[in-house]
Structure 1
């Protein structure tokens, strides 16, 4: 079975919209400013983007504020061809803990992370449907540590459920991750050293100790 090329699929969608003279509205879930930097640079030429910052997994509470503030600062600082707006979701850590209950001991990158993907992508799908967006997607695939196939599978499942197309993507391709690190330096962005949740933080700290 041939492996799907999500990057090429996204480029085909963009090309089709360009040929039809369309500039669609995209609801972009963002995990953090550094990961969104390249994605915004790439996609703002082709979409009117609303960045949804919904990450109930983030720990501790002061970390969510720091990351959200950096996201807003980046949007205000970046040049953009089309309007980029910001939408901050509710901080609901209890929803995250309930979602991953029973998977607290999973290794980073396992089932707990997949449940977290779904939690955040489902909120993006809800917001996209409520706001009448043409597409929704997430910045998460830019990370070399995130499973792009799983993210796209969840996104496409939610697209069918909510009736809003999911923009398939693998933003780490074509040096996307490398470019995000360059932009992070350029804008002086805060780059955290763990994904976000208390479990990833503990795992990271244990690695440092070892």
Structure 2
């Protein structure tokens, strides 16, 4: 099956918008400041952006709060977010949402999965569904997520979840899902440069306790490899 270039699909959608006039509203699910940086820069001239921070997967709570504070710090100083009055909505933090949605306590094999597996798919679906519901209930024109900017995330999986959500929307709801692959066209590289420019702290693992454990294990194994064999 031919892979879809979601960046090109995004560009087709954006080309339909008028150059001037009222901006359509966009609810942008975000996991942190660094991942939001380039996406805000890229889209804030086109959309009236509201960031939605819902990430019950992040472990521990101190990590969750630190990522949130970095996002707030960035929004307060980044010219594009200030000029375009980017708003921030913070949803509740209950890790049980993550454990229930992924069912990792029963399906224990999911705990050891590398990133991009079924555990991640269920986590994406949880966060995107909650964000989508908020977008629909509050009359946003569009919804998308910053998650596709990460080279470690499965963009096809993320877009398929978004497409599925849009297909199931009730009659009368105007919200549409915005296809994306923000890592393309050096989007990820730009996000790393913006992080350096604005002194943003970049996390060392995806977010959940299992990604943290897997990352720690991987780092330990790397340390054991003799220098000449790396």
TM-score, normalised to structure 1, is 0.96
- 1:74 paired residue number: 74
SS at match of 2:168: helix
- 1:202 paired residue number: 213
Summarize deviations over 1:106-137 as a string: whole Å, max 9, x none: 22220000000000000110110111100000
Q: Does 1:63 find its partner at 2:63?
A: yes
- 1:168 paired residue number: 179
Instruction: Name structure 2 gaps, 5 residues minimum.
Output: 222-230
Summarize deviations over 1:71-122 as a string: whole Å, max 9, x none: 1111111112422000011101001011111222322220000000000000
User: Is the radius of gyration larger for structure 1 or structure 2?
Assistant: 2
- 1:28 paired residue number: 28
Total equivalences in the alignment:
210
**Aligned pairs (5 A) from 1:50-129:** 50-80=50-80, 81-101=83-103, 102=107, 103-129=110-136
Instruction: Name structure 1 gaps, 5 residues minimum.
Output: none
Preserved CA contact (<8 Å) 2:27 2:140 = yes
Quote the RMSD (CA, aligned, Å): 1.3
TM-score, normalised to structure 2, is 0.88
Task: Flag as ranges the 4+ runs of structure 1 deviating above 3 A.
Answer: 19-22
Structure 1 residue 145: Cα displacement: 0.7
